[in-house]
Amino acid sequence: TGTPLKVLWDQNTCIYTNAVDWRQKAWAGVNYRDKIALLLGRPVVSTRRIKKPFWQMNHIHNQLWMSSFHLSDDNIIYYIEKLSSYKPVAIEGYPSTLYILAEYMNRNNIVLPVKAAFSSSETLLDFQREEIEKAFSCELYDFYGLAERTVFATECKYHDGKHLNHEYGFTEIVNDADLRVETGEKGYLVSTSLQNYGMPLIRYKTTDITQFKANTCSCGRHMPRIENISTKAEDIVVTPDGKMISASILTHPFKMVNGINKSQIIQEQLDRISLKLVTDDRFNKDEENSLLENFRYRVGNNIEINIEFVNDIPRTKSGKYRWVISKVPKGQLNKDLQ
C-alpha cells in the first residue's frame, strides 16, 4: 500500500536468514569464507563522494561492499578495476545493477570470471541473465525473499523455479478472495514467519504474483517450488544518467519517516518525480525534509522531486495499489516485459 511497515527481527531470524542464504551459495559451490563482492541497496559511502573508492571492505566476512549509487558511466571503470584486483569468488547484487556492469563489460570485451553470481530484490529478466552470465563467465542464481523475513526461495543449478526453504516460513498462494489456489494457478503470495519469535507475521499478504510448480525438480530436492515473481517495467525509476532504480531501493527513505500512511511515486518525466503522500499529524516539516534528503540520496540530484499531499491514493481496477509508476521509456526493458 505504500504504508511503511516496521518489523522487528530477533536473533534467531538473523541466524536462519544467513543459514538459508548460505544454503543456496553452497549449492553453487561457494563457501562461507570465500571472497564475495556485493552491490546492493545499502549506503556504503557518502553520496557526496565524487572520487573513488566507492566501496568498503567487511573483513570479518571477507566481503567487498560496493556502492550501487555511484555506479555511473564515469565511474564504472573503477568498479571493474577493483573487481579485477579483488578477484571475488562470487558476486551478488540487484539484477539491474549487475546488468549495468555486465553490459559495459561485454561491450568492451571484458571478462571477470567468478564461480557464481547471485541476484535478488527485483525480477530477473532473461536478457539480464544472459548478459551477466556472459560477463562473469558463470551461472547466475536468483533468489526471492522479503524484508519482513517470512519467505526465502532460492534457485538451484537447474533454474526451474525457486525452492521454498519451508523451515523458514510457510507459503501460500491465494486469489482475490484470499482462498488458496490450485497448484499451477497464479495468485498472490502469502507467507507466515516460522523463525521470528520477536514479531511473527501470520499470513502476510503481498501483491507479488506467482504459482506453485507441480513437478519435482531435476536436482532431486523435494522442497516445494514457486515460479518467478511477476512485475512490470513501470515499477522501475530511470534517472537522467541512465540508472535504473527498483522499487525495493526506494522503500528505504519512507521507512525512516513518521506519519506517512500511504504513498506513491510517479515519474512523469526523466527529470521529474512526484511523491503523493497521505499523512497524519506526526508528519511535520522535519519529517518532510528527512524524506526528501533520503530519497534524493537514492535517485541523485538531477531529478526534481515534488511532494503532493492527497486524501487518498486510489487502487487500480484490479484492486491493487501501484506504489511506483514510471512513464519513462526503458528501451529493451520494456520490450522484455510486454
Q: How confident is the model at residue 148 (pLDDT cuts 50, 70, 90)?
A: very high
Measured over the CA atoms of residue 206, residue 122, residue 65 and residue 36, the dihedral's sign is positive
In a domain, 3, yes or no: no
pLDDT digits (tens, 9 = 90+) for 159-172: 999 999 999 999 99
Picking from 31-35, 165-169, 248-252, 268-272, which range would have the lowest pLDDT averaged per residue?
A: 248-252
Residue 169 sits in the same domain as residue 85: yes
Q: What is the pTM of this model?
A: 0.72
CB 90, CB 39: distance < 8 Å: no
Strand, coil or helix: 228: coil
- End position of a domain, from candidates 172, 200, 226: 226
Does residue 223 surpass a pLDDT of 70?
Answer: yes
Burial 86-104 (b: 16+ CB within 10 A, else e): bebbbbbbbbbbbbbbbbb
CATH of the domain at 133: 3.40.50.12780
Residue 176 sits in the same domain as residue 261: no
CB 198, CB 185: distance < 8 Å: no
Strand, coil or helix: 68: coil
pLDDT digits (tens, 9 = 90+) for 211-221: 999 999 999 99
- End position of a domain, from candidates 171, 200, 226: 226
Picking from 12-21, 26-35, 64-73, 300-309, which range would have the lowest pLDDT averaged per residue?
A: 64-73
Q: What is the dihedral of CA 313, 318, 321, 327, to 10 degrees?
A: -90
Q: How confident is the model at residue 318 (pLDDT cuts 50, 70, 90)?
A: very low
Does residue 141 surpass a pLDDT of 90?
Answer: yes
In a domain, 1, yes or no: no
pLDDT, mean over the chain: 88
Report the pLDDT averaged over residues 39-57: 87
CB 291, CB 257: distance < 8 Å: yes
- End position of a domain, from candidates 178, 208, 226: 226
269: domain range? 233-337
CATH of the domain at 271: 3.30.300.30
Residue 139 sits in the same domain as residue 46: yes
Q: In which element (H, E) is residue 56 found?
A: strand 55-58
- Give the C-alpha separation, 67 to 86, whole Å: 15
